[in-house]
Amino acid sequence: MPRPARNYQAAVYGHVARVARAVASPRRLELLELLAQRPRTVEALARLAELSVASASQHLQVLRAARLVEAERHGTFVEYRLAGTEVEEALVALRQLAERREREIGELTRDFLERRGVLEAIDSEELLQRVRAGAVTVLDVRPAEEYAAGHLPGAISVPLAELEARLRELPRRRPVVAYCRGPYCMMSAEAVATLRRRGFTAHRLDHGVVEWRARGERVETAPGAPPP
């Protein structure tokens, strides 16, 4: 191969490798998943990911250098967001690839859910049919600000921490479907366990807003919410 062509190829793969190195960290993947829900400050990300602010900032700088996230200053705070919908799509694709190649992921998930008695999940096609028919109550158990930034059509915001106090708001004659941040987020599993203890028919949706959007489905936002 002529040397100019080899140099070109090496340069291109070098840039691809930089992006790959940026996501080659469990912590950075978690930060990207959190940013896929809504833009956040480094302080908020550090709290949610249980990191020090300094550590979260270092991870974000790596992601920013790879052009996977963008930052915008608001007064004394810097807010981070994903650098485009293709980053969100790549997250879903990477997770799906890992699930196909690493059977341990499925084993870990099944073990965690079996211990909570909520192994079965409803796929999005079945849920969509039930929602359209008004046959289920859909609960978004993420924090309210994430619901405002984007939620499944017809979903009701009941953050997990408020669920016990708001059970009277839920009709008992219809099954309840709970979702949160995606297949590895277990807030929905905890919500389903609580609902079943209280006598509800409840199921977990293993898709979140990110997976819903990746399928080309419509996502609703609350009035005045910032774009996701």
Question: Which residues are annotated as catalytic?
Answer: 180
- 210 in Cβ contact with 88 (< 8 Å): yes
- Token code pair at residue 222: 């609350």
Cβ-in-10-Å burial (0-12, 13-18, 19+) of 211 comes to buried
- 80 in Cβ contact with 45 (< 8 Å): yes
Beta-carbon contacts of 206 under 8 Å, excluding residues fewer than 6 positions away, are 121, 122, 123, 182, 183
Cα separation, 37 vs 88, in Å, equals: 10
- E-strand ranges in 2-141 read 40-41, 69-74, 77-82, 121-122, 137-140
Cβ-in-10-Å burial (0-12, 13-18, 19+) of 185 comes to middle
Distance of CA 2 to the CA centre of its chain: 45
Cα separation, 25 vs 96, in Å, equals: 17
Cα separation, 194 vs 191, in Å, equals: 5
